[in-house]
Structure 1
Amino acid sequence: MLVMNYLKQHLDNKSLILIFRGVVVGLLSGLIVGSFRWLIEISLRFWQKGFRLAHTNWTILLGGLILVLIISLILAKFLHDEPHIAGSGIPEVEIQLQGQLTLNWWSILWRKYVGGVLAIGSGLFLGREGPSIQLGSSIGQGIAEQTNLNKTNTRILIASGAAGGLAAAFNAPIAGTMFVLEEVFHNFSVRVWLSSLSAALAANFVTSTIFGLQPVLAISHQTYFPLSSYWTLLVLGIFLGLFGLLYQKVLLLMPHLYARIKFIPTSLNGLVPLLLLLPLGYFAPELLGGGNNLILDLNTAKETTLLLFGVFLLRFVFSMISYGSGLPGGIFLPILTLGAVLGALFGNILVVLHLISPTMIPSLIIFAMAGYFAGIGKAPFTAILLITEMVGNLANLMPLAIVSLVAYIVVDLFKGAPIYESLADKMMLPTSAQFSGKTDQLTLTIVPESHLVGQPVKTIHWPKNTLLIKITRGTKALIPDGSTILRAGDFVTFVVPYQQRLTVRKKIERM
């Protein structure tokens, strides 16, 4: 009774509805993504066992070839019928939230689910997190459409489903919420935050029930990184930033390289990595998959510097081939795996030079995962929170932040853009410059450096067909008139044409 009275006093009905919807989306996302994770793990073990048995029975390889051809044809059919299941799906979610793309949620949901299990579960260097985000967003969209919600609330549930999907993929609810706000939604909206966090927590509860409470990357490492060695974090950040730039450039180049393959249709590009999977699986089955087990093995194994460089090169090249083919699968976990290998490589070099103790290498592996993702994704807050939740240790937030920030700065200095935003920009989407009559809401923050600070609303030339309807200042919601003066930190809410939401957002951000 006391709890209910407190909720009634401090939460209005709209907030309770947002939380309730988020929980429903999260529970369903947890069930779908949890089973998705489980099937991928089962499938990967099946393939690895088959490759090991092939050493004593070569006919198993022939069966593997036949299976690869069947999977290629199934995935080609899926991609032909629904092109937007290709890749991670995060760029599609991002564009969908900007009002530039309309998807058939059911078509995406079942094809991404089955296609993801077939592609990722076969052992290709693809991650489950991107598909999990798209699966969650599809669930959110489906619930919104089935309950006839308006465009604004539909977008909130799509974002909430995305947060729930990432939380379920990695057992990381806080990072899932931050990723949606920092990388996908590109704005801090209280309504989106509240609903997304509710969904992420609910989804994490479901998957924790299925897989247990142990962190996904339970790496044993030195509790505190010594202050006397903090200089190595700066060097590591630069090192990761430069390799992050290389990753960005090569990944964005892959569609052009695959376009040169003229003898097979685009939908069959997945045949290339699936055929290459056979020799790779035969000689190194332990390297198959997104890389979760490899990261854990790096913590205990004593690989040489040369071997680590070879593993990095192999994973880098085959990750590009796998993702560039357009098969359903993400780059999130492969990026973390590459970062872990770079951290171990960097640590080995410092040990050889007698600059650090070998006991510090596990810590560098953890820091490097965050730094490499922060540089490539340009989402440092998500990187810090994600690795903290995945490792299950709060002791090294400071080193994580330093490495992530330095890697981010290096990529930014060389004009590197967030990888998911770059992938979204390369998608060829129909645009509409005409106002169809459908509207949506857009909320943006007035940053301190904006020249709009201190300006009366009536003196500002807002984009065409844009109406400022609300200013949120702290806990107060203001209805603006012409004399209302904007302040730093204000959240300004507009009604905008639905098809022009992205265009209007960019115009106002430039202002």
Structure 2
Amino acid sequence: MESKEGRQRDYSRLAAVGRGLVIGLFVGVVISLFRLLIMNGLLLVQWFFGQAHHHVWLLGVWVMISVALTLITGVLIKQTPEIKGSGIPQVEGQLMGELDYHWWPVLWKKFVGGVLAIGSGLFLGREGPSIQLGATVGQGVAAVTHNTGSQRRLMIASGASAGLSAAFNAPIASTLFILEEVYHNFSTLIWLSALASALAANFVSTAVFGLTPVLHISYFASLPLRQYGLLIVLGIALGLLGRLYQSVVLRVGDWYHKITWLPDQYYSIIALILLMPVAWYLPSVLGGGNGLIVSLGMHTPTALILLGIFVLRFVYSMIAYGTGLPGGIFLPILTLGAVFGAFFGKLMVLWQLTKPEYVPIFIIAAMAGYFAGISKAPFTAILLITEMVGSLHHLMPLAVVSLIAYMTVDLLNGAPVYAAMLEKMQTPAQRHLTDEVGHMEIPVFANSVLDGKQVREVNWPQGALLTEIQRGERRIVPRGDTLVRVGDLLIVHTPLDQHENVRQALLKMNGS
């Protein structure tokens, strides 16, 4: 006779891990190939401009290549606008139920467009596109296995986590980024599936690229506590620069509209032509910037040169991103943070406020601080840089700079950049017009107006249906007289087209 325990055994978590592993393996293969092609494309561009110093006529060839790349990417963008830009806002919109698209055209066109755009040497990152590629693989697996609703979104989130993990070899931070910044949901099933997918993708990526951390920077001394005041100054400076970055990156597309008569899918010709003087004089700074970051850890230029590189990369990354090409801002943000951290450290050494051996610590901390301020995801920033650098010894400086930069941007009314990009999208790809239902999980906090109220006493948002309360290991089917308590996890179902409005209303009631 089957026991009660056996009848009630729940395999949903095991199934979530299994799905995550399968998705992660597929994503790992796709993103590893994506990285390889981009790396070789960048090396080819650097070799090309090296040859151009001996054969100036090759500059004319570059103009023709630029026209060809513009036409190819322009056609892809016109056919499938969902591949434009980073891709993270599109994934966030999908998970919120605000937009949707067919997975196969986005997958191959984002892949091809990303390789052409990022591999051409433009100051664009591979991480945003990797997240969208991963999410699209997850969506494809869901389509093939006929999963819909919440299971489909779970698989999309798992693919997104795997995409970032394979791009950065940082599975823990990748999982947290998807939960903190993209999905805004920390339920058990979601983090289990996302973590499993990230680990599987990281396994594939590590097998291809090796175990060395992506941004390995060696340092030989810990910053003394008496110099932590410098970290506060650095955090404030990064917060101010981060707010400036947010303002410019959200407006640069509009500036293109005002200064050029070209159709928006062909703006890339401007960025590719303007790239020529940079590729001629400074080929080492081309691309997303991971090579530049590693080189700063080995040999740091003078403060004046670093300031010039910072301004150059800031301006050119805006020019590149404003074209709408399939490329992200994730790695360019980290590169700008690293360059500014090196500049700040060199300046402090020049003013005899610190020692040269502490400069790498400012580089590492500034990467986290700049990303924390711009994305407003400080936990992800701290963990991401820790995984990418490959050391735990700098956690305190990372935390201090990230917190100060985050608070500075917050006081200046800066919004998370990816959420702001999603809101700014003028023509969402395809809004949900069906009655498909999804669910969300809302924890009840100590300051929530829900605490201590009966279910019938709560003025639930329109479209919200409370279907279950999880209290520890107990699962409660709510009735009108069921009390809501601190620590409860509320399972709320809602139509997908009302998902985000309901979520925001519940979070406001919850005091979060």
TM over 0.5: yes
Quote the residue 1:153 is aligned against: 151
1:38-57, aligned counterparts within 5 Å? 38-57=36-55
| Whole-angstrom distance in 2 between the partners of 1:430 and 1:52 | 42
Quote the residue 1:35 is aligned against: 33
| Whole-angstrom distance in 1 between the partners of 2:8 and 2:479 | 29
Determine if contact 2:463/2:502 at 8 Å carries over to the other structure. no
Determine if contact 1:223/1:395 at 8 Å carries over to the other structure. no
Quote the residue 1:312 is aligned against: 310
Quote the residue 1:207 is aligned against: 205
Q: 1:409 to 1:260 in 2, by over 3 A?
A: same
Quote the residue 2:20 is aligned against: 22
Q: Percent identity?
A: 50
Aligned to 2:486, what secondary structure does the other structure show?
Answer: coil
Determine if contact 1:433/1:500 at 8 Å carries over to the other structure. no
Deviation at 1:63, TM superposition (A): 1.4
Quote the residue 1:240 is aligned against: 238
Q: Deviations over 1:12-55 (max 9, x none)?
A: 31111101100000000000000000000000000000001100
| Whole-angstrom distance in 2 between the partners of 1:197 and 1:164 | 8
1:334-349, aligned counterparts within 5 Å? 334-349=332-347
Q: Deviations over 1:55-85 (max 9, x none)?
A: 0011221211111110000000000000010
TM-score, scaled relative to structure 2: 0.96
| Whole-angstrom distance in 1 between the partners of 2:229 and 2:470 | 43
| Whole-angstrom distance in 1 between the partners of 2:392 and 2:204 | 23
Quote the residue 1:133 is aligned against: 131
1:470-481, aligned counterparts within 5 Å? 470-481=468-479
Determine if contact 2:100/2:430 at 8 Å carries over to the other structure. no
Quote the residue 1:184 is aligned against: 182
TM-score, scaled relative to structure 1: 0.96
Quote the residue 1:389 is aligned against: 387
Deviation at 1:465, TM superposition (A): 2.9
| Whole-angstrom distance in 2 between the partners of 1:476 and 1:223 | 50
The letter for the 2-side match of 1:117 is V
The two structures, once aligned, show a CA RMSD in angstroms of 1.8
Determine if contact 1:377/1:419 at 8 Å carries over to the other structure. yes
Quote the residue 1:5 is aligned against: none
Aligned length: 504
Structure 1 position 196 matched with structure 2 position 194 = yes
Q: 1:344 to 1:11 in 2, by over 3 A?
A: farther
| Whole-angstrom distance in 2 between the partners of 1:452 and 1:483 | 13
Aligned to 2:470, what secondary structure does the other structure show?
Answer: strand
Over 4 Å off, 4+ runs: 8-11, 429-436
Structure 1 position 122 matched with structure 2 position 129 = no
Aligned to 1:299, what secondary structure does the other structure show?
Answer: helix
Q: 1:268 to 1:435 in 2, by over 3 A?
A: closer
Q: 1:421 to 1:430 in 2, by over 3 A?
A: closer
Q: 1:264 to 1:153 in 2, by over 3 A?
A: same
Determine if contact 2:99/2:430 at 8 Å carries over to the other structure. no
| Whole-angstrom distance in 2 between the partners of 1:455 and 1:390 | 45
| Whole-angstrom distance in 2 between the partners of 1:432 and 1:79 | 16
| Whole-angstrom distance in 1 between the partners of 2:155 and 2:247 | 33
Q: 1:11 to 1:90 in 2, by over 3 A?
A: farther
Determine if contact 1:441/1:496 at 8 Å carries over to the other structure. yes
Determine if contact 2:368/2:401 at 8 Å carries over to the other structure. yes
Residue from 260, 263, 270 that aligns with 2:261: 263
Quote the residue 1:451 is aligned against: 449
Q: 1:434 to 1:252 in 2, by over 3 A?
A: closer
Deviation at 1:128, TM superposition (A): 0.3
Determine if contact 2:443/2:487 at 8 Å carries over to the other structure. yes
Farther off after superposition, 438-447 or 274-283 = 438-447
Deviation at 1:431, TM superposition (A): 11
Determine if contact 1:446/1:452 at 8 Å carries over to the other structure. yes
Residue from 204, 222, 225 that aligns with 2:223: 225
| Whole-angstrom distance in 2 between the partners of 1:36 and 1:14 | 32
Quote the residue 1:89 is aligned against: 87
Q: 1:463 to 1:366 in 2, by over 3 A?
A: same
1:101-120, aligned counterparts within 5 Å? 101-120=99-118
| Whole-angstrom distance in 1 between the partners of 2:433 and 2:425 | 22
Q: 1:432 to 1:329 in 2, by over 3 A?
A: closer
| Whole-angstrom distance in 2 between the partners of 1:272 and 1:47 | 17
Farther off after superposition, 312-321 or 499-508 = 499-508
1:257-296, aligned counterparts within 5 Å? 257-296=255-294
The letter for the 2-side match of 1:88 is S
Determine if contact 2:31/2:167 at 8 Å carries over to the other structure. yes
Quote the residue 1:4 is aligned against: none
Determine if contact 2:217/2:298 at 8 Å carries over to the other structure. no
Deviation at 1:184, TM superposition (A): 0.1
| Whole-angstrom distance in 1 between the partners of 2:245 and 2:105 | 31
Q: Deviations over 1:257-299 (max 9, x none)?
A: 0111342101101111111112221111111000111111112
Determine if contact 1:432/1:499 at 8 Å carries over to the other structure. no
Quote the residue 1:323 is aligned against: 321
Deviation at 1:10, TM superposition (A): 12
The letter for the 2-side match of 1:188 is F
Deviation at 1:435, TM superposition (A): 8.1
Q: Deviations over 1:103-149 (max 9, x none)?
A: 11101100000000000000000000000000000000000011111
Quote the residue 2:3 is aligned against: none
Deviation at 1:101, TM superposition (A): 0.8
Deviation at 1:193, TM superposition (A): 0.3
| Whole-angstrom distance in 1 between the partners of 2:9 and 2:66 | 54
Farther off after superposition, 313-322 or 54-63 = 54-63
Q: 1:9 to 1:385 in 2, by over 3 A?
A: farther
Deviation at 1:477, TM superposition (A): 2.0
Residue from 426, 437, 440 that aligns with 1:439: 437
The letter for the 2-side match of 1:489 is G
Determine if contact 2:337/2:367 at 8 Å carries over to the other structure. yes
Determine if contact 1:100/1:431 at 8 Å carries over to the other structure. no
| Whole-angstrom distance in 2 between the partners of 1:84 and 1:433 | 13
Residue from 385, 397, 407 that aligns with 1:409: 407
| Whole-angstrom distance in 2 between the partners of 1:363 and 1:476 | 47
Determine if contact 2:465/2:492 at 8 Å carries over to the other structure. yes
Deviation at 1:151, TM superposition (A): 0.8
Structure 1 position 168 matched with structure 2 position 170 = no
| Whole-angstrom distance in 2 between the partners of 1:306 and 1:456 | 64
Determine if contact 2:97/2:432 at 8 Å carries over to the other structure. no
Determine if contact 1:28/1:139 at 8 Å carries over to the other structure. yes
| Whole-angstrom distance in 2 between the partners of 1:432 and 1:104 | 10
Deviation at 1:11, TM superposition (A): 8.1
Deviation at 1:433, TM superposition (A): 11
Determine if contact 1:432/1:500 at 8 Å carries over to the other structure. no
